[in-house]
């Protein structure tokens, strides 16, 4: 029973950690997709959380029932070989871009928050990430189990401990907040499935997958709400690359240093998860020429090159585009029926 509970919590932590990367933990994504719409952004955060929980749990169970080795097999089963191949390529390049965003975020943390060279943060993330990747599924589970509870505890402390400030300006966008909320859920879920599908294959008990995904989705929704309300109450941080870190500065040097460590850890969880899932995708497509470790090294090298573009530019340009591309795919995933056990 204890082992089952540990597995459930590890899946929940991985569910959260795969989504919560540099953009979320820094607050940059929260402002872009929710907080600029203020009250409507609150409804949008709830909508995103519900969609990610529901679809994430369903697709993990789906993948378990068809014994999918990677995201490729899941998509081919649902959409057919021809359309599935197009979606596989789309999601591969989306996730590859996000992996570069994670490394750029590591550089931004070191440069903006510590005053150190950004390349030091990028290289440190690459080295630590590769060491965890060598452990396979165990490394993926344990990095999330270590970092995610610390993030939740830290965000709760900040939320209940800060004083209210002026709210950020409202963006007039009609019903665009709905599109923004659904787009956020769609691109986060679709890219997370690259990690969650191979994870589901390793779990034999379907009830563990269901409970883990449900707890992870609820925890993710809670984090969305808290981060949104934190950003909502501070007009001075809206234009910063790391707005959450700026809020933490009000609590003193020790708290700020602790947050820098946590946000770096969250960058690592998404970076490690993405490389893990993408390597499986690459190996599934080209089994004769790419071993898993060689695929990981190839992907890490490419992500390093992408990270040189810069964190803020990548977040602003890539994420909304990813949302548009992913919405139709995820809506269809919500529509399809689960295969029999």
CATH number at residue 59: 1.10.4160.10
The whole-angstrom separation of Cα 247 and Cα 34 is 18
b/e per residue 327-341 (b: at least 16 CB within 10 A): bebbeebeeeeeeee
Tokens of 271: 């970076």
Q: How many domains does the chain have?
A: 1
13: in domain: no
298: in domain: yes
17: in domain: no
231: in domain: yes
Instruction: Give residue 159's pLDDT.
Output: 82
C-alpha dihedral sign at 52, 269, 9, 223: negative
209: in domain: yes
Tokens of 248: 């933490």
341: in domain: no
Contacts with 297 (C-beta within 8 Å, 6 or more apart), sequence order: none
Contacts with 181 (C-beta within 8 Å, 6 or more apart), sequence order: 33, 34, 41, 43, 44, 45, 47, 48
11: in domain: no
Mind listing the pLDDT tens digit of every residue in the chain (341 residues)? 788 888 899 999 989 888 776 567 667 788 888 888 888 888 999 999 999 999 999 999 999 999 888 888 999 999 888 888 888 888 888 788 888 888 888 888 888 778 888 889 899 999 999 999 998 888 888 898 888 888 888 888 888 877 655 555 555 556 788 888 988 888 888 878 888 988 888 888 899 999 999 999 999 999 898 888 888 766 666 667 677 777 777 788 888 888 888 888 888 888 998 999 899 888 888 876 667 788 898 899 988 888 877 555 655 666 666 666 788 888 888 888 888 77
340: in domain: no
- Domain interval for residue 272: 27-335
């Amino acid at each position: 029973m204890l082992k089952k509970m540990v597995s459930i919590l590890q899946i929940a932590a991985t569910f959260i950690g795969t989504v919560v990367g540099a953009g979320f933990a820094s607050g940059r994504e929260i402002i872009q997709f929710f907080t600029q719409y203020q009250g409507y952004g609150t409804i949008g955060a709830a909508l995103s959380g519900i969609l990610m929980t529901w679809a994430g749990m369903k697709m993990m169970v789906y993948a378990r029932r068809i014994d999918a080795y990677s995201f490729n097999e899941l998509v081919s089963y649902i959409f057919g070989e021809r359309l599935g191949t197009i979606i596989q390529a789309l999601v591969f390049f989306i996730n590859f871009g996000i992996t570069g965003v994670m490394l750029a975020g590591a550089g931004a943390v070191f440069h903006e928050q510590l005053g150190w060279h950004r390349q030091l943060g990028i290289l440190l993330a690459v080295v630590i990430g590769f060491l965890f990747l060598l452990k396979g599924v165990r490394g993926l589970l344990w990095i999330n189990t270590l970092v995610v509870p610390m993030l939740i505890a830290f965000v709760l402390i900040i939320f209940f401990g800060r004083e209210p400030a002026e709210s950020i300006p409202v963006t007039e966008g009609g019903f665009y907040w709905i599109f923004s909320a659904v787009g956020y859920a769609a691109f986060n879920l679709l890219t997370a499935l690259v990690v969650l599908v191979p994870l589901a294959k390793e779990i034999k008990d379907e009830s563990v997958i269901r409970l883990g995904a449900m707890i992870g989705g609820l925890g993710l929704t809670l984090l969305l709400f808290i981060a949104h309300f934190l950003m909502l109450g501070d007009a001075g941080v809206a234009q910063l690359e790391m707005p959450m870190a700026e809020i933490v500065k009000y609590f003193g040097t020790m708290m700020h240093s602790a947050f820098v460590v946590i946000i770096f850890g969250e960058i690592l969880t998404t970076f490690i998860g993405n490389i893990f899932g993408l390597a499986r995708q690459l190996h599934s497509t080209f089994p004769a020429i790419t071993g898993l470790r060689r695929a990981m090294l190839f992907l890490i090298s490419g992500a390093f090159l992408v990270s040189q573009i810069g964190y803020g530019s990548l977040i602003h340009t890539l994420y909304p585009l990813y949302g548009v591309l992913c919405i139709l795919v995820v809506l269809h995933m919500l529509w399809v029926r689960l295969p029999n056990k």
